[in-house]
Amino acid sequence: MSQRQINETFLKACRGEKTDYVPVWYMRQAGRSQPEYRAIKEKYSLFEITKQPELCAYVTRLPVEQYNVDAAILYKDIMSPLPAIGVEVDIKPGIGPVIDNPIRSIHDVEKLGEINPEQDVPYVLETIKLLTTEQLNVPLIGFAGAPFTLASYMIEGGPSKNYNKTKAFMYAEPKAWFALMNKLADTTITYVNAQIDAGAKAVQIFDSWVGALNVADYRYYIKPVMERIFSELRKKNVPLIMFGVGASHLAKEWHDLPLDVVGLDWRLPIQEARSMGITKTVQGNLDPAILLAPWEVIEERAKAILDQGMANPGYIFNLGHGVFPQVNPETLKRLTAFVHEYSANRQ
C-alpha cells in the first residue's frame, strides 16, 4: 500500500526550512493523561499494549486526533528492545523499569546477544506500518534510548537518583564500559534502522539521564559512541533529534553530533542556547509542570518560548520533558491551537 499524504510541517522545521506556523508535539503525548488510555491500562501492561499492533497504533494515534499535533511518536518504552539481547525487564507501576540481572562485569556484557528486529520485535514494525500506511496524516517519530541511559538501568537494576553504580562501573571498568556502549550502539542502530525502514519519518534518541555526567566525561565515555550512532542513522536521510533531561551543559556537545535537532529541557532558555552557538533546529521547552497552572500562565509562558524560538529558522514547540498524568487533555488541545495560531500570525 502506498504511504498517505502527510502534513510535513514538522519535517520541514527539523530541516530548518520555513514553515507556515510552528509545529508542535508533546513527549509522552500518547498515554498517561488520556482517559481512553487509562481504561486500556486497566486491562493491559505497557509491554502487552506494544505487542498488539492495532491497539498500540490506536494509542499512538489518539493524541494526534485529540490535540491536532503535527507529529506522532510511537507508543513504546526505551526498554522495548532489551529482552531481545538477553536483558529481562519488568516495568513496575510506580517504580519504572526493573532488571533482576544487572551488569556487573565484562563477562555480563559478553553474554549479551544481538537484536533481529523482524524476529524479536515484529509487533513494533507492524505498528509502524499500520500507522504510516493507513492511519496517520502527520509524520511518525520512531525512537530509542541512548546507550548511557539504557546502561544506567542495566547496571543500577532500575531507576536511580544519582547513578553512582553506573559511574563507578564506567570509571573502574573502562574496558567493560566501552564494550557495553558498543553493544548498545549496535542494538540501537539496528533497531532504529528497522523502524525507519518500516515507515518512521524521523527519530528521537532519548538520553534521559546523561545529564548526570559532566562535559569532560561525556566527551570521553559517551560522545564517540553517539557520533557512531548518528553517523550510521544519517544514511537513512530522516531527521534525527537528541534529547535528555538536566543536560543543558551538554547541548553544545549534541550540536556537534551529526544530527538535525537539539532538544532542550526547560532549564535552558532558547535564546541562551542560540547565544551558545547552537544554530541547528531546536525543540522545546515548556516546563511540563506549567500545564497544571491556570491557562493565563500557560499562555504567557508559551508565548515567551515561541518568541524566542521563532527568532531563528528551525523551531519545534514541545515540552521540556513528558506530559504528566494529571494534565487535562483539553489543556494540550488548547495549547496546540494557541501555538499554531500565535505562530501563524507572527510569521
- Position 345 in a domain: no
For the segment 29-45, the average pLDDT, to the nearest whole number, is: 93
SS3 assignment, position 241: strand
Q: Give the pTM.
A: 0.96
pLDDT of residue 23: 98
Residue 190 has pLDDT above 50, yes or no: yes
Q: How many domains does the chain have?
A: 1
> Measured between alpha carbons, how far is 88 from 99 in angstroms, rounded to an integer?
6
What one-character-per-residue DSSP string does 74-95 give? ----TTTTGGGGT--EEEETTT
Q: According to the model, what pLDDT value does residue 1 have?
A: 36
- Give percent above pLDDT 70 in the chain: 99
Residue 3 reports pLDDT greater than 80: no
- pLDDT for 96: 87
What pLDDT score was predicted for residue 347?
67
Task: Band the pLDDT of 4: cuts 50, 70, 90.
Answer: low
Q: CA nearest 255: which of 289, 230, 288, 291? A: 230
Give the Cα separation of 127 and 76 in Å (integer): 10
What's the pLDDT score for residue 48?
94
Residue 119 lies in a domain: yes
For 119-138, how does the pLDDT look when each residue is reduced to its tens digit (9 = 90+)? 999 999 999 999 999 899 99
Domain-located, residue 193: yes
C-alpha cell of 154? 542495566
The span from the CA of 41 to the CA of 55, in Å, is 11
On average, the pLDDT of the chain sits at 96
Lowest mean pLDDT among 24-28, 86-90, 177-181, 336-340: 86-90
Full domain range(s) for residue 140: 25-271
What is the per-residue pLDDT across 49-91, written as a single tens digit (0 to 9) for each? 999 999 999 999 999 999 999 999 999 999 999 999 999 998 8
**Measured between alpha carbons, how far is 62 from 234 in angstroms, rounded to an integer?**
29
Q: What percent of the chain has pLDDT over 90?
A: 94
Q: What average pLDDT does this structure show over 166-192?
A: 98
In a domain, 169, yes or no: yes
The per-residue pLDDT for range 206-217, each reduced to its tens digit, is 999 999 999 999
Report the C-alpha gap between 54 and 120 in whole angstroms: 18
Task: For 246-292, give the DSSP string.
Answer: S-GGGHHHHHHSS-SEEE--TTS-HHHHHHTT--SEEEEEE-GGGGG
Decide if 183 is inside a domain: yes
Which long-range contacts does 44-51 make (Cβ < 8 Å, 24+ apart)?
Answer: 45/91, 46/76, 46/77, 46/91, 47/77, 47/80, 47/91, 49/75, 50/75, 50/76, 50/77, 50/80, 50/123, 50/124, 50/127, 51/123
Q: If residue 12 lies in a helix (H) or strand (E), which one and from where to where?
A: helix 9-14
Average pLDDT over residues 138-151: 98
pLDDT in tens, 281-324: 999 999 999 999 999 999 999 999 999 999 999 999 999 999 99
Residue 62 lies in a domain: yes
CA–CA separation, 178 vs 223, rounded Å? 11
Predicted pLDDT of residue 250: 98
All three cell numbers of 98: 526493573
Residue 95 has pLDDT above 90, yes or no: no
Residues 146, 188: contact at Cβ < 8 Å? yes
How many whole angstroms separate alpha carbon 200 and alpha carbon 237? 11
Is 323 in contact with 288 (CB distance < 8 Å)?
yes
Q: What is the pLDDT of residue 93?
A: 82
Q: Exposed (0-12), middle (13-18) or buried (19+): which is 232, by Cβ within 10 Å?
A: middle
Distances (CA, A) of 209 to 3, 148, 152, 213: 35, 8, 8, 9
Question: Among 253, 301, 303, 302, which Cα is nearest to 280's?
Answer: 253
Banded model confidence at residue 94, pLDDT cuts 50, 70, 90: confident
* Alpha-carbon gap, residue 69 to 326, rounded angstroms: 19
Q: CATH number of the domain that 34 lies in? A: 3.20.20.210
Residue appearing with cell numbers 518512521: 200
Asked if 63 and 57 touch (Cβ cutoff 8 Å), the reply is: no
Distance CA 162, CA 96 (A): 16
